[in-house]
Amino acid sequence: MATLYSHGMIRRHVFGEAASYPIRKIDLSDLTRALRLGWEDFQAMPSHAIVVCVIYPVLGLVLFRAVLGYSVLPLLFPLAAGFALIGPFAAIGLYELSRRRERGEEVDAWDAIKVLRAPSFGAMLELGVLLLVLFGAWIGVANAIYVTIFGHAPAASIPDFATRVLTTPEGWSLIIVGCGAGFLFAVVALCISVVSFPLMLDRHATAIDAIRTSLRAVAENPVVMAGWGLIVAALLVIGSLPFFVGLAVVLPVLGHATWHLYRRVIEPNPNPPDEPPPPPQGKRYAADFPANLFPWSREREQ
């Protein structure tokens, strides 16, 4: 018995013991509340959110231009839909902004990049790589579905492609099979990441513990989490029109809302660690430009 007890102690010491984070039961009203708080965060710091997320509409326009020039038109929709897979990782800066505002701090645009200093940033990077692999797999599957149905002949133009997809039996098969496959990828991404990144940022959880907690959260609240997935999908579709420009608003609101959803789903830490008070912001003057763009350099001087 002593030997078995010692072996168990050694195993926990070497391999670690999975942390357990209590899950709350939530309802659909909590989704409305999370979206409202996310919108309030966006209104309070819209320039910050847009600065962090402007890459999305820019990327969308680049992809659109690439489609026109390089005959990858069939992948335009899968690439746009793939934002839902990598969005939780790309929004980690937004979680940091919401976390700081929740604590009553003065939030600066550059506070978003301070997430890079988080003790659990390595774990967030691990899960981010996993989502990128999932995104790559989705693009590969989407391309394989298109080639299987239409072959390797490229579409001559956007009207030609739209005609193929919307007015032929093969096109409807592509829509049905493609949406079905995309749904499966989206479910996997939602299950492993719905609260994972905020949890790693807030509680310094490991990637494995964060994924386990996210899966438990979905299992405890399947209907509500399905509703959240539908809300995210619908808002991403709306934000993608026209030319992905709406994503500059939709993505930051969803990012902030995800933080508040995490707060509703996971019980707060009963013994939160003491954190040092935020440094005073002080006044900034026009003469300091462009030094104000690099606040970390000022921190080293203090």
**Residue range 16-30: mean pLDDT, rounded:** 83
Radius of gyration of the chain (CA): 22
Q: Taking Cα atoms as reference points, which of 105, 36, 41, 29 lies closest to residue 252?
A: 41
Which pLDDT score is estimated for 51?
A: 62
Q: Phi/psi of residue 23, each to 5°?
A: -105, 135
Its sign, for the CA torsion 38, 103, 199, 252, is: positive
Which has the higher per-residue pLDDT, 153 or 52? 153
172 Cβ contact partners less than 8 Å away, ≥ 6 residues apart: none
Which pLDDT score is estimated for 62?
A: 64
| Cβ proximity of 229 and 217 under 8 Å | no
219 Cβ contact partners less than 8 Å away, ≥ 6 residues apart: none
| Cβ proximity of 80 and 245 under 8 Å | no
pLDDT at residue 155 greater than cutoff 80 = no
- The single-letter code of the amino acid at 216 is R
The pTM of the full predicted model, rounded to 2 decimals, is: 0.79
Which pLDDT score is estimated for 245?
A: 77
Q: Buried b vs exposed e over 227-258: b needs ≥16 C-beta within 10 Å? A: ebbebbbebbeebbeeebbbbbbbbbbbbbbb
Which pLDDT score is estimated for 113?
A: 87
* 49-79 pLDDT per residue, tens: 666 666 666 666 666 666 555 566 777 788 7
Which pLDDT score is estimated for 269?
A: 79
Domain boundaries, the chain: 33-267
- Calculate the alpha carbon distances from 225 to 35, 228, 242, 283 in Å: 14, 5, 28, 44
Which pLDDT score is estimated for 73?
A: 72
23 SS3 class: strand
Q: Taking Cα atoms as reference points, which of 280, 251, 299 lies closest to residue 114?
A: 299
Helix axes 46-53, 247-265, angle to 10 degrees: 110
State yes or no: cis peptide before 242, omega within 30 of 0.
yes
The angle formed by the CA atoms of residues 107, 113 and 118, to the nearest 5 degrees, is 100
| Cβ proximity of 129 and 164 under 8 Å | no
